[in-house]
């Protein structure tokens, strides 16, 4: 295992600002809401903040306060945060992010989990926290062949925890992290319990009558399938095609992701009610 620190070269940041300042903007949407996607005026405002207000070096330093490493598992370099608790009897916990996300999501919870007594908790509530970057995400390696799905990732995470000296551990995850965590729980491995903040289930076959709460849940699923799932179809069938725009244009990636923050957070119509601009750009 090799220690790791985030250190983005200055020339990468210069290129980012250049690309932001030379964005070719589309015409504005034909509605006065987000129903056709992230509005042009908000996108331009957020892109301007990214170029002229967002301080990556400060955000980089905030992430680098956590202990980070890279290790090779199943032929791929895996980046992860490994923050040990000061409490000797802390329980090991692996936390997995989803899309669109990264280990940056966990900045606010790592300290309370590892050192609960400093945050009004008890020593027996402490965890040793491991937050890996999914294959292809963040600072983990990028697969060069297909096959890195949920099952393979779950096996890799079990190997990572054992390699770190944790023969018994818990696992937590949301979004794709929930799928990976569910698979960890299914495997005959070393995990003794899981927690999900995005459990998925379907109505049992043959059920035709539903409660009001169940009807609301089914209506939400239908709304997602009709209005919110086009990104998933594109990414799961033709990821290479969409990749050109997302990699070449920072505004394209901003728009692609921030629209989901607006749709998937409890923001009451204003995405900045849920996430600060710095958190979104992280």
**Share of residues in the chain with pLDDT > 70 (%):** 100
Residue 54 CA to residue 7 CA, distance in Å, equals 16
- Is residue 265 in some structural domain? no
Give the pLDDT confidence score for residue 76 in this predicted structure. Answer: 98
Q: For 84-91, what is the mean pLDDT?
A: 96
Respond yes or no on whether the N-terminal peptide bond of residue 100 is cis (omega within 30° of 0). Answer: yes
Residue 189 has pLDDT above 90, yes or no: no
- Is residue 105 in some structural domain? yes
- Is residue 103 in some structural domain? yes
Residue 64 has pLDDT above 90, yes or no: yes
Q: For 50-69, what is the mean pLDDT?
A: 97
Residue 203 has pLDDT above 90, yes or no: no
pLDDT band at 204 (very low <50, low <70, confident <90, very high): confident
Residue 151 has pLDDT above 90, yes or no: yes
- Is residue 112 in some structural domain? yes
| Range from 62-66, 200-204, 232-236 carrying the lowest mean pLDDT | 200-204
Mean pLDDT of the chain: 96
- Is residue 132 in some structural domain? yes
pLDDT band at 265 (very low <50, low <70, confident <90, very high): very high
- Is residue 217 in some structural domain? no
In the chain, the number of structural domains is 1
pLDDT band at 188 (very low <50, low <70, confident <90, very high): confident
Residue 176 CA to residue 172 CA, distance in Å, equals 11
- Is residue 123 in some structural domain? yes
Residue 274 CA to residue 254 CA, distance in Å, equals 16
Give the CATH number for residue 117. 3.40.50.1820
Residue 24 has pLDDT above 90, yes or no: yes
Ramachandran sector of residue 138 (left: φ over 0; alpha: ψ -120 to 50; beta: rest):
left
Furthest CA-CA distance within the chain? 60
- Is residue 121 in some structural domain? yes
Enclosing domain of residue 38: 2-199
Residue 168 has pLDDT above 90, yes or no: yes
């Amino acid at each position: 295992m090799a220690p790791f620190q985030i250190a983005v070269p200055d020339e990468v940041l210069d290129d980012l600002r250049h690309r932001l300042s030379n964005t070719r903007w589309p015409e504005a949407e034909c509605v006065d809401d987000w129903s056709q996607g992230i509005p042009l005026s908000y996108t331009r405002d957020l892109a301007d903040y990214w170029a002229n207000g967002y301080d990556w070096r400060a955000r980089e330093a905030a992430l680098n306060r956590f202990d980070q490493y890279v290790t090779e598992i199943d032929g791929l370099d895996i980046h992860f945060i490994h923050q040990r608790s000061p409490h000797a009897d802390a329980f090991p916990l692996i936390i997995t992010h989803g899309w669109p996300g990264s280990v940056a999501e966990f900045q606010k919870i790592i300290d309370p989990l590892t050192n609960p007594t400093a945050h009004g908790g008890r020593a027996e509530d402490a965890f040793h926290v491991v937050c890996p970057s999914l294959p292809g995400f963040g600072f983990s390696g990028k697969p060069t062949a297909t096959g890195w799905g949920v099952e393979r990732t779950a096996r890799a995470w079990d190997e990572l925890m054992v390699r770190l000296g944790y023969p018994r551990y818990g696992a937590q995850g949301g979004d794709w992290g929930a799928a990976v965590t569910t698979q960890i729980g299914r495997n005959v491995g070393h995990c003794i319990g899981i927690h999900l903040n995005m459990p998925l289930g379907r109505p049992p076959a043959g059920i035709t009558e539903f409660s009001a709460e169940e009807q609301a849940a089914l209506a939400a699923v239908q709304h997602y399938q009709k209005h919110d799932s086009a990104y998933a179809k594109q990414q799961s069938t033709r990821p290479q095609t969409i990749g050109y725009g997302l990699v070449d244009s920072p505004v394209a990636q901003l728009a692609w992701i921030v629209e989901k923050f607006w749709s998937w957070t409890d923001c009451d119509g204003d995405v900045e009610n849920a996430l600060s601009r710095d958190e979104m750009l992280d």
